Amino acid sequence: MIKTSYKYLFFALLASSISEALAQKSTATKPNIVLIYADDVGYGDISANGASKIKTPNLDKIAKQGLRFSNAHTSSASCTPSRYSLITGQYAWRKEGTKVAPGNASLIIDTARLTIAGLLKRAGYTSGVVGKWHLGLGPASGPDWNGEIKPGPLELGFNYSYILPATGDRVPCVYVENHHIVNLDKNDPVLVSYEAPVGNEPTGVNNPELLKVKPSRGHNQTIVNGVSRIGYMSGGKSARWVDEDIADVLTAKAKHFIQDNKQNPFFLYFATHDIHVPRIPHSRFAGKSGLGVRGDALLQLDWCAGEVLKTLDSLGLSKNTIVIFSSDNGPVLDDGYQDEAVEKLNGHKPAGPLRGGKYSIFDAGTRVPFFIKWPGVIKPGTSSDALLSQVDLFASFASLTKQKLSPADAPDSFDELQVLLGKSVKGRESLVEHAGTLALIKGEWKYIEPKDGAKVNPGARIELGNNPEAQLYNLKTDIGETNNVAMKHPEIVAELAAALKTLKENGRSR
């Protein structure tokens, strides 16, 4: 009887050991995912993409250890809609209220919608967002800055968040961790308004003598840390950020998230603030690029990426981690502050060979750097000219984790996993670019629908691409979009115009 009990105990322990080993193997086969999402970084800003006036060795390392895309796009030429599309898998132009959001906007993503974080959470991932959010917070009435700030990232599938509510040039100038402002003194409540002044805080327009960075246009309301911002804010003195320290604070939080979740699959959406205005890099980088503060901020961005890569290496996680680097839109030089970004370019070409930039329907608005590495899976030192959109990350991650999407999920996202892994060069059949108007890229052709309006953003000095006549460019022979051949190929214009009309009317691409 005793021997029989020992026999059953032996087999029970053996079965338990096998089960545990299989579970560990299953977990190990789920790669961690780190998405480093930069701000306002142009196609030509990275040395791996040909920049010669500045070196970005850590970002180059991602490209050298993996795959570099030359025809990858964000969905829009500005930040809020790009981020909305990335997280929801839906083109932002399909939804009202997804233009560049004020700092006190309510959450613009429906909490009932499956997000990229919620998708990965279903597959057993712990998801974190660190950095710039700019998708609104709180209910329709707006966020309760002095109480629980929700709904927000946690209600969209993220397990942890440490964010800038909007951008560095917009109030409130505080960090929000999960549902609360960090280091907030309840006796000094935060008040925020985008309509009229609150409290008696000095402003850039009335107190220019207090500024260490002067605005070039707008950006002249409440002063925080010697910089005037968009919007009015009072209170929260103990919670306010110091611009020079933002990169250090966010990078430390990103590293801690990786360390805290090293035992299980994780997804980190690390949305750095560099190189968005106001550009006030840490003293370690100030003056080091030879390209002024914008170049210095690029060096700081590269350092942030390097710290994340070092953390993965030190924890032995690099081999089982997919690392992606990209940007939310194309480059802009003067975006509201007198920081000599134009004067100190020194021959650097932020857009590379492309035309336009941030806010523009020309390709520099949405064609951005895109590098991906996964050691042992993606062949190092490779490149691809496959047509790819960031909106495709959603469906591709679903494929990676063997999940099926319902018809309501990610309606504009396609499974491009094999393209991302370098196993296929086919890419998308077409994609829509979005700025003030829409454009459709299909094969070598790009069609821009007619639109009246300004030709140039006068402050940023960027061509917007608006034209009351249809535009057609052959991107294979004219990557700089200099020769509008719409008059020569009316049949192609008609075909692409009809295809774009169908995409708009159908409400989905997939």
The percentage of residues in the chain with a pLDDT greater than 70, rounded to a whole number, is 94
The reported pLDDT for the residue numbered 20 is 41
Q: For residue 274, what is the DSSP state?
A: T
Average of per-residue pLDDT across 65-82:
98
Average of per-residue pLDDT across 385-390:
98
Average of per-residue pLDDT across 266-291:
98
Q: For residue 309, what is the DSSP state?
A: H
Backbone torsion region of residue 296, taken as left when φ is above 0, otherwise alpha when ψ lies between -120 and 50, otherwise beta: alpha
Count H helices and E strands in the chain, helices first.
9, 22
* Segment (H or E) for 388: strand 388-389
Residue 98 binned pLDDT confidence (cut-offs 50, 70, 90): very high
Is the pLDDT at 88 greater than 70? The verdict is yes
- Rounded Cα distance between 365 and 384, Å, is 20
Per-residue pLDDT reduced to its tens digit, 20-61: 443 333 334 799 999 999 999 999 999 999 999 999 999 999
Could you tell me how many residues make up the chain? Answer: 510
Average of per-residue pLDDT across 484-494:
98
The segment(s) of the chain belonging to CATH 3.40.720.10 are 30-190+235-424
The reported pLDDT for the residue numbered 491 is 98
Domain 432-506 has CATH 3.30.1120.10: yes
Residues 6+ apart with CB under 8 A from 442: 429, 430, 496, 499
Least confident of 13-17, 281-285, 411-415: 13-17
Average of per-residue pLDDT across 197-204:
96
Of 508, 500, 433, 437, residue with least CA distance to 466: 437
Q: What is the dihedral of CA 372, 375, 377, 383, to 10 degrees?
A: 40
Is the pLDDT at 302 greater than 90? The verdict is yes
Does residue 322 have a cis peptide bond before it, meaning omega lies within 30 degrees of 0? no
Residue 269 binned pLDDT confidence (cut-offs 50, 70, 90): very high
Per-residue pLDDT reduced to its tens digit, 324-353: 999 999 999 999 999 999 999 999 999 999
The reported pLDDT for the residue numbered 4 is 46
Q: What is the dihedral of CA 374, 379, 384, 386, to 10 degrees?
A: -60
pTM of the model as a whole: 0.94
The segment(s) of the chain belonging to CATH 3.30.1120.10 are 432-506
* Segment (H or E) for 302: helix 292-314
The reported pLDDT for the residue numbered 1 is 46
Residue 14 binned pLDDT confidence (cut-offs 50, 70, 90): very low
Q: Which fold has domain 30-190+235-424?
A: Alkaline Phosphatase, subunit A (3.40.720)
Residue 292 binned pLDDT confidence (cut-offs 50, 70, 90): very high
The reported pLDDT for the residue numbered 345 is 97
Residues 6+ apart with CB under 8 A from 117: 87, 127, 129, 153, 156, 157, 158, 267, 269
Per-residue pLDDT reduced to its tens digit, 152-189: 999 999 999 999 999 999 999 999 999 999 999 999 99
Least confident of 17-21, 86-90, 93-97, 327-331: 17-21
